[in-house]
Amino acid sequence: MRATIVERAPAKVNLALSVGPPGVDRMHPIASWMVTVDLHDELLLTQLPEPSFSRYAILWHPEARRRSEIDWSITRDLAVRAHLALEEHVGRQLPLQLKLEKRIPVGGGLGGGSSNAAAMLRGVNALFGLGLTRAELAQIGASLGSDVPFLVHGGSAMVEGLGERIALLPPPPPLALTLIFPEAPCPTGKVYAIFDELGPAGLRSEGVRALSAALRVDPSSPFNDLLPAALQVAPTLEDDIAEIAAVAERPVHLSGSGSTLFVVCDDPLHAEALASTITARLDLPAVAVRATG
C-alpha cells in the first residue's frame, strides 16, 4: 500500500499591509499582519517507489468560484518547485504523485501559489519522514517567494522585511470575512511598478503592529498601501469597491496586490449572508471565510 496524505494549503489575507520604497536590490520591504483563512487548496500526495519519476497534476476543484486557465508549465508551478527544492536540500530523490485541486483564485493576492509551495514542503516532510522543523522548511521556502515562510507556519503573524522576519501571534479574535473575487487581474509586478511611480511612503510598522494587537478587528481598520496602485492597474476595481460598499454598508479592503477584496463581518452568519447577497446582486463571486489558528 502506497503512503498517501492530504495537505491543505490555506489562503492568506493581509489585514494590514505597509510597503516601503525598494532597496538597491529592487525588492520592497513590507510590514504586514497576515492571517490564514479556511479557504484552501488541497494537495493529495502519494509516495512512489524508488526509482520513479514524480508526476504532477494541477486542476480546479469543483467548488472553485473564480477560475482561470492553468496555462503555466509544470516546472514553473510553485508546488513543484518546492518539491524540487526539498529534494536538493536533502540530496536525494523523493518520488511522489501530486494531485493539486485549487480553490484559491490565481493572482488574487491571497497567496495561493505560495501556500501550495508551503503545503508541499510540509507534506513531503511528513510523507517521507524527513524530520525537518518548520523553521527549516520556511528557510527552504524563502527562495520560492516572500509569502512562503509565513504560509509554512500559517495562523496569524506580523511579517516584515522581505517576508523572512515572522513574529507568530496568538490566534486572532474571532474573525469572519467575506472575500470577493473581481474579474480584473492585478499582476503583482505591474502593481509594484505603479506603486513606485506614485512615490512610496515610509513603512508604517507601528500602525500594523497596533492593529494586530487589537482585541477586535474593526471593519474600517484594515489598510493596504498598494490599493492606489492596484486601482490604476485595474480601474474597474473602483466601481467594484463602490458597489460592494453600498451593499455591505461598510468599508471594502484589498488583500495583497489584489485583486481580491474583503469585508470584515460581524460573525460567520453575517459573512455568509453578505457573500450570497453580493453574488446575487452584483454577479461577483464571493465566499465567507473565517481566520484559522
Q: What residues are annotated to the active site?
A: 12, 147
Which strand (E) or helix (H) includes residue 9?
strand 4-19
Q: Return the closest-CA partner of residue 112 out of 288, 257, 271.
A: 257
What is the DSSP-derived secondary structure letter of residue 82?
H
Q: Where are the alpha helices (DSSP H) in 92-161?
A: 112-127, 134-141, 148-153
Q: Which of 267, 149, 254, 250 is nearest to 195 (CA)?
A: 254
For residue 234, give the C-alpha cell.
Answer: 485595474
Task: Determine the Cα–Cα distance for residues 114 and 9; give it in Å rounded to an integer.
Answer: 9
Query: Strand, helix or coil at 267?
Result: coil
Q: How far apart are CA 266 and CA 249, in angstroms?
A: 12
